[in-house]
Amino acid sequence: MNKDFNLKRNYKVTKFEGFMLPLVNIALFALLIATPAFIFFSKKGPGASHAPIYISLAAGLIVGALAQRSRLCMVGGIRDIIMFKDSYLISGFIAIFLFSLIGNIIMGKFNLSFVNQPVAHNDALWNFLGMALAGWASTLLGGCPLRQLILSGEGNIDSVITVIGMIVGAAFVHNFGLASSASGPTPNGKIAVIVGFLIVLCISYFSLEKDVKPYLKGDVKVGSN
C-alpha cells in the first residue's frame, strides 16, 4: 500500500447497476420463503444450523445498518492502525471480540482452546496461512468480507463482483474437495492456498504504480508517469 498499490481507474455506473445485488437478494429471499421444489436445503451439518429466518433477517438489517454507518471493517482496522496510527476502525474489531467473548461466556459456549471448536481443525500452520491469504486479498480489495457486503448493498459494483466471487468460491471448494473440516485441511486445499498466495502476489506487484522516466527523442519529450 505504501508503494502506491492501485487497482486502476473507477467508472461511473447507472443506478440500476447499483441496485442489481439488492434486487437479487430480495429474489433469493422470496425463494427462501416460498421453498420451491427445485431448491434443496441442507438437512445436516453447518448449512442446516441457522437461526429462524426472520430473526436472521432482523439481525442482519440492524448489524448491516450499524456497520454501514460506522464503516466497520476488520482488515481496515488493522491497516489503519499500522499505516496511519488511526485507532477508529480497530475499536470496532475489539468491540466485536469482547462482545463475542462475553456472549459465549454467558451462554456457556466459551472454550479457551483450539481443540474441539465447532467445525474447526487444530493445524495451526494452515489456519494461519488460510487467514493470511484472506487478509492479504481483503487488503488489496480495500475491505474485509463484511465491508464488501456493505459496499455491495450501497451499489459498489466492485464489491458486488467480490461477493459473487466469495459465493462461487465457497461452492467451488466444497464441490471439489478443497474445503477443510474438523479432520484438518485437505491436500488439494493446501495447494489452492499456495496458488492463492501466488495470485495475490502477482496482483500486488503488477498493480503498483511504477514511475516511467521520461526521455528525449530529438527535441520532443516522450514518456510519462
What are 141-180's pLDDT values in tens digits? Answer: 889 999 999 999 888 888 999 999 999 998 899 888 898 8
Helical segments of 6-123, H only: 15-34, 53-70, 74-83, 88-106
Note whether 140 and 204 are within 8 A (CB): yes
Fill in the amino acid letter for 8: K
What is the share, in percent, of the chain residues with pLDDT greater than 70? 92
pLDDT at 71 over 80: yes
The confidence score (pLDDT) of residue 119 equals 75
Residues facing residue 216 across a β-bridge: 221
Length of the chain: 225
pLDDT at 214 over 60: no
Note whether 7 and 140 are within 8 A (CB): yes
pTM for the full predicted model: 0.79
Note whether 20 and 155 are within 8 A (CB): no
Residues facing residue 5 across a β-bridge: 208
What would the grid cell of residue 191 be? 495447494
Lowest mean per-residue pLDDT among 22-31, 85-94, 111-120, 193-202: 111-120
SS3 140: helix
Q: What is the mean pLDDT of residues 205-210?
A: 82
Longest dimension (CA), the chain: 78
Instruction: State the number of CA atoms in the 13 A half-sphere of 42 facing the CB.
Output: 7
Fill in the amino acid letter for 159: S
Q: Measure the N-to-C terminal CA separation of the chain; round to a whole number of Å.
A: 18
